[in-house]
A and B are shown apart, each in its own frame.
Chain A
Amino acid sequence: MHEIGVREVVQVAGFSFNLETLYMTWIAMAIVILIAFLATRSLKLVPTGWQNAIEMVVTALNEQLDANMGKRGPMFAPLIITLFLFLLVSNWLGLIPLMSSPTNDLNTTLALALMIVVMLHVLGLYYRGWKYIKHFFEPIFPFVVINIIDEIAKPITLAFRLFGNILAGEILIIILLMLVPIWMPIPSVIWLAFSIFIGGVQAFIFTMLSMAYLAGAIHKDDE
């Protein structure tokens, strides 16, 4: 029986790694790359079938980025698209028996959230310089406390929202399978369908929030 939360840990050069998470991450990456490769294998000037869907998604995302980030938006398009695809595949991977989501490990979600937050601070400093530091002390000096709490809350909320949703979904699937006899699969099936929905929604939320944070950090000085 699958043991929840207990992970095989290996030590490499003094660092410990969660093996299952890494394997699942690589599988998810492989699937994402495969999808991207298949989708863009034979691009034509006159789009047909899959190409229409892929282009629609890419165009819609680019428009979002344009609207949120201004002229620097397109630079982040590959990042945002990859983020969404990776999270979607990761979230759904755990719904396959014997697999688990890379995103049911806090290491993964916090890694992505921290990456986004570090990136937005670095980009904010790079693009806006002194004004970026100053905006932490606005509107008046004491607000620095609230602003810093806000900045710290960003990666934590991002990471825990995704982690919690996905882990809870997987736990409940396992529990449902234990509780309900095998000839009564309806609750499990319903929960599985709901988990598919949750996976998509969480991937979308994570991506959209990342985009909004990044936009907030780099967009304001355009005005």
Chain B
Amino acid sequence: MIELNATLFAQILNFLILVAILRAVAYKPIMRILKAREDKIAESLNKADADAQKAEATLKGYQEQLAGARVKAQNIVDKAEKRAREDREASVLETRQEIEQMKKAAQAEIERERERAVEQMKSEVVALSIAAAGKIIAKNIDASESEKLIGEFIEKLDKNKIGDLPC
């Protein structure tokens, strides 16, 4: 039942052949693909790291730019506000001056009008007085006395008053 013979050597040979075949057919391709994948993964990881770093740098750059832009915009807004304020103040001042001028002009006009009215009144009063005097003279007073009366009447007229009325 247990007998050893040349089969033993044949089996060693068979097995060694099998090892050689398997090594060529299966083991080497598997190791090659494993190595390839390992390389690929390492490469991918490196690339991912590099990408992440690059992205971070880019983000930082953008953030800096953004901060810069914000400061710039604030400056511009500040400047614009300042200028607007100045403009407004200037225009207010100008308007005020204009109003002042207009007021002055109006006052001058009023003054002028009043003077003219006074002049007119004076002449009318003279004419009226003369007419009144004429009527009185015609009744009972001689010429010399009437002239004296008229002169007194006119003297009583103040420069700024007509009769007793304020002007």
Contact = CB atoms under 8 A, between A and B. Distances in A.
8 contacts: A15-B6, A17-B6, A17-B10, A25-B11, A55-B33, A81-B22, A102-B11, A112-B15
Nearest to A38: B26
Interface of B is mostly: helix
Interface of A is mostly: helix
A26 to B, nearest CB: 7
B4 A110 contact: yes
Contacts of A18: 5, 7
B1 interface: yes
Which of A25, A39, A40 has the largest number of chain B CB atoms within 10 A?
A40
Contact of A33 (B7, B15, B16, B22): B22
Interface of A: 4-6, 9, 12, 15-18, 21-22, 25-26, 29, 32-33, 36-37, 39-40, 43-45, 47, 54-55, 58-59, 77-79, 81-83, 85-86, 102, 105-108, 110-112, 114-115
Interface residues of B, number: 31
Interface in B26-80: 26-27, 29-31, 33-34, 36-37, 40
Contacts of A32: 18, 22
A202 B52 CA distance: 52
A17 B12 CA distance: 13
B23 A78 contact: yes
B10 A22 contact: yes
B167 interface: no
Nearest to A15: B6
A111 B10 CA distance: 9
A159 to B, nearest CB: 10
A92 to B, nearest CB: 16
Nearest to B11: A111
B153 to A, nearest CB: 132
B132 to A, nearest CB: 133
A17 B5 contact: yes
A55 B14 contact: no
A77 B7 contact: no
Nearest to B1: A5
Contacts of B27: 58, 77-78, 81
Contacts of A25: 11, 14
